[in-house]
Amino acid sequence: MQATLEQLEAAAEQVYGVMAPTLQHNWPLLSARCGCEVWVKHENHTPIGAFKVRGGIVYMRDLVARGGATGVISATRGNHGQSIGMAARAAGIAATIVVPEGNSREKNAAMAALGVDLVVHGPDFDAARDHAVTLAAEKGLSMVPAFHPLLVRGVATYSLEFLRAVEGLDTVYVPIGQGSGICGMIAARDALGLTLDIVGVVSERAPAYALAFETGQATVTNSADTFADGVACRATDPAALAIIRKGAARVVTVSEGEIEAAIRAYYTDTHNLAEGAGAVPLAALLQEKSAMAGKRVGLVLSGGNIDMDVYSAILS
């Protein structure tokens, strides 16, 4: 799923018709904490508070150009659903979003505010996705997957911005949910002809991609019981796995405690809100602090959509 620089720049033009590029900052306190020069890509500052919006814009523009559909449906833990909801509303297309039971109340509210038909089904993302596929067939809706070349091309625009703005990065840490973010980073790096290491990060309670990275086999785990809902996936996507195994240096697993510590560090050192998935790259860097000493390192703060009660408990 390679993308040319021209394709990524065309995707960026579509994205910038809706939102401005996000910023990247070098935070001195965070660099001191990590023992290296740290640059943060602030995807928590998009119109939906997460990077996913970029993919939704590009995917929906293509759907409309091809004649589109009367309605779309997808499954999510929140950020992907907001992305599809926002893009569908702009295109005048009805959107149905399936979320699992116990999903983030605040992410659910954000999706509802975008006018989506919210359906609650199943104990986790993978069960919600299976139900969305069933509903798509029953109701004649266009199923928007969690991983697709156009979604990757859209989210790759943040990587294009990041890698052009900060030269000489040695390593970039990227969270892995269904894989669009890290595959977009790989696509942007390769299109620009750079050689930096890209490190994927997952929760140890949702280790499917870490296991699959080692074995080379698509993996399904029994559960994905992590509060970092953006990386709470039980099953790997074969297309994403192939790209990650070819283009990533490694996949790191981090504990719930390490994720919580990273969320607190983002608040203390930058006063930025980080959701669990947005904090896993920092958690991985802190885990690998000695190996990264003195290097120039990038972190993708992929989103800041965390429920108030969860955030308050972590800070306290």
pTM: 0.94
- Position 148 scores a pLDDT of 93
- Cα 82–chain centre separation: 12
What the chain holds in terms of domains, given with CATH numbers, is: 5-51+149-315 (3.40.50.1100), 53-143 (3.40.50.1100)
In whole angstroms, give the CA distance from residue 32 to residue 187: 30
Ordered DSSP codes for the chain: ----HHHHHHHHHHHHTTSPPPPEEE-HHHHHHHTSEEEEEEGGGSTTSBTTHHHHHHHHHHHHHTT--SEEEEE-SSHHHHHHHHHHHHHT-EEEEEE-TT--HHHHHHHHHTT-EEEE-SSSHHHHHHHHHHHHHHHTPEE--SS-HHHHHHHHHHHHHHHHHSTT-SEEEEE-SSSHHHHHHHHHHHHHT---EEEEEEETTS-HHHHHHHH-S--B-S----S-GGG--SB--HHHHHHHHHH-SEEEEE-HHHHHHHHHHHHHHH-----HHHHHHHHHHHHTTTTTTT-EEEEEE-B----HHHHHHHH-
Q: Tokens at residue 118, please?
A: 């919210």
Which stretches of the chain score pLDDT less than 70? 1, 68
- Position 78 scores a pLDDT of 80
Cα angle 52, 53, 55 (rounded to 5 degrees) comes to 70
Cα angle 102, 104, 20 (rounded to 5 degrees) comes to 155
- Position 77 scores a pLDDT of 84
- Position 67 scores a pLDDT of 82
Which of 48, 266, 299, 61 lies closest to 185, judged by CA?
299
Beta-ladder partners of 119: 98
